[in-house]
Amino acid sequence: MLEIKFVRQNLAAVQQSLATRGDKTDWTAFNQADQQRTTILAEIEQLRHSRNVASEQIAQLKREGVDAEQKMAEMRSVGDRIKALEKDLIEHEENLKTILLSIPNIPHASVPVGQNAEDNPVVKTIGHPPAFGFEPKGHWDIGESLGILDFGRAAQITGARFPLYLGAGARLERALINFMLDIHTLEHGYTETLPPFIVNRQSMTNTGQLPKFEADLFKLENWDYFLIPTAEVPVTNIHAGDTLPEERLPLYYTAYTPCFRSEAGSYGKDTRGLIRQHQFNKVELVKFAAPETSYDELESLLHNAETILERLGLAYRVIALCTGDMGFSAAKTYDIEVWMPAQGVYREISSCSNFEDFQARRANIRFKRKGQKGTQLVHTLNGSGLAVGRTVAALLENYQQADGSVIIPEALRPYMGGKDRIA
RNA sequence: GGAGAGAUGGCCGAGUCGGUCGAAGGCGCUCGCCUGCUAAGCGAGUGUGUGAGGAAACUUGCACCGAGGGUUCGAAUCCCUCUCUCUCCGCCA
């Protein structure tokens, strides 16, 4: 959520900036609701003031044993007027809030302007795609013929777009989770968390999934609860409502969670394999930082995620998302894309964003500077470190051998019971 | 699932029959004084949000005592609903 005062005072600039993201806010409705709210609020406050004064006088009169009936009668009508105005006010405030909650974040000045994914510039490309003396197979073929992935049986259990890992495949998934968590906790200083996988409506609203994107979420029947689409939601909400002392910043958290996405409207894309599933595992990185450091923190967060790919020896590149391709809450986003030999393309495996104070305002996450009055909103950041299913897919494809086996990269072997190959 | 208790400022904790309560007292913290150092002592200050005025210090309106609603001229205090926490019972991994 943007600060209403800021929007009001910089309306033209805000509109111009959001236009680069293809935003469709109804600014007339916004202005109207805002102005009416201000007018009504001013009157209410004035009336409440006179009521407060009168109440004090009534108390005084009663103490002196003087009759206060006249004053009380007078205040009865004031009270009625306040009540009526308050009803009005709530209506306008709700309008305003609905609009405000649906306005995306303002892109950082360094974000390239563009329409869609094709306009995302490549920031850097690391490593070299492996050369094969044969036609590399898709990870779904490799996985199914090794007996470590079975999408048919997963469909029997649930439906399309759910994974079933078996044997070394399940072990590989678990190994990667531990591998990633160990690096982030032991080397990068993140605190490990294991949050709820189901969250309430408020938490979803705080991080920006709601109110606009309810269709992408799985909702529980008879509960106002949702399956998390990413650990970002529960982990960011750890500090919802908190005022943190400055010394505690920056805070780093990591979490392994499954993620659930209904991916409404994505049918037909990536129908094979692990790339686009309704349920997948992810190790997430979340940071809370002071505003002046948040862009440095974004860079280091990105490096933390990159480290995993480097250790696994996977080729990847980093792209900067352009204004038209960024997510709703982000002020700036880097995507890491891993090389997928079967299709010969780089595929997203991590997304690292700085949300600035957009989520913090919604979730009311503040910090207090020593010796300074008042509080300030923190900046929140997060990134995948990494999407585990897609990492498995990349490993299978990049380390496949002519005989159909798959080499396990050295760094992962301790997590695979010393195994160096899946055959 | 059943029965009961509770939710107040950074923390502990008071709030009487609703009125001078944004909230006693203590702890903590900040500043000052004092003390050879430390400790103790003394004095002052010490919530958040939002609006107005001011360069600022600050002054001032409104709101906030788990959340929402109600009663009332007036609610931290009374009533209702919800949420959460704790205790006991049941059930269960």
Percent of chain A with pLDDT over 70: 99
Residue A348 annotated in active site: yes
Question: Which residue has 């649906």 as its token pair?
Answer: A102
Q: How confident is the model at residue A194 (pLDDT cuts 50, 70, 90)?
A: very high
What's the CA A198/C1' B13 distance, rounded, in angstroms? 36
How far is A320 from A121, CA to CA, in rounded Å? 6
Angle at alpha carbon of residue A47, lines to A46 and A52, rounded to 5°: 100
Q: Is the pLDDT of residue A26 over 80?
A: yes
Q: How many helices (H) and strands (E) does chain A have?
A: 12, 15
pLDDT tens digits, A46-61: 999 999 999 988 988 8
With a 7 Å cutoff on the CB, does A49 touch strand B?
A: yes
Nearest to A399 by CA among A102, A168, A160: A168
Q: Is the pLDDT of residue A267 over 70?
A: no
pLDDT at residue A67 in the model: 82
What's the CA A302/C1' B92 distance, rounded, in angstroms? 43
Nearest to A394 by CA among A346, A356, A330: A346
Q: For residue A316, give the DSSP letter.
A: E
pLDDT at residue A329 in the model: 95
- Is residue A225 within 8 Å of residue A219, measured between CB atoms? yes
Active-site residue identified among A93, A192, A348, A369: A348
Coil, strand or helix at A374: coil
- Is residue A348 within 8 Å of residue A333, measured between CB atoms? no
Structure tokens at A367: 């910090």
pLDDT at residue A342 in the model: 94
With a 7 Å cutoff on the CB, does A81 touch strand B?
A: no
Active-site residue identified among A48, A276, A413, A421: A276
How far is A274 from A365, CA to CA, in rounded Å? 35
CB within 8 A of A256, min separation 6: which ones?
A177, A180, A181, A194, A231, A281, A282, A283, A284
- Residue A225: beta bridge partners? A200
With a 7 Å cutoff on the CB, does A90 touch strand B?
A: yes
pLDDT tens digits, A370-411: 777 788 899 999 999 999 999 999 999 999 999 999 999 999
Residue A351 annotated in active site: yes
Global confidence as pTM: 0.93
Residue A390 annotated in active site: yes
Q: Is the pLDDT of residue A260 over 90?
A: yes
CA-based end-to-end distance of chain A: 51
With a 7 Å cutoff on the CB, does A373 touch strand B?
A: yes
pLDDT tens digits, A303-361: 999 999 999 999 999 999 999 999 999 999 999 999 999 999 999 999 999 999 999 99
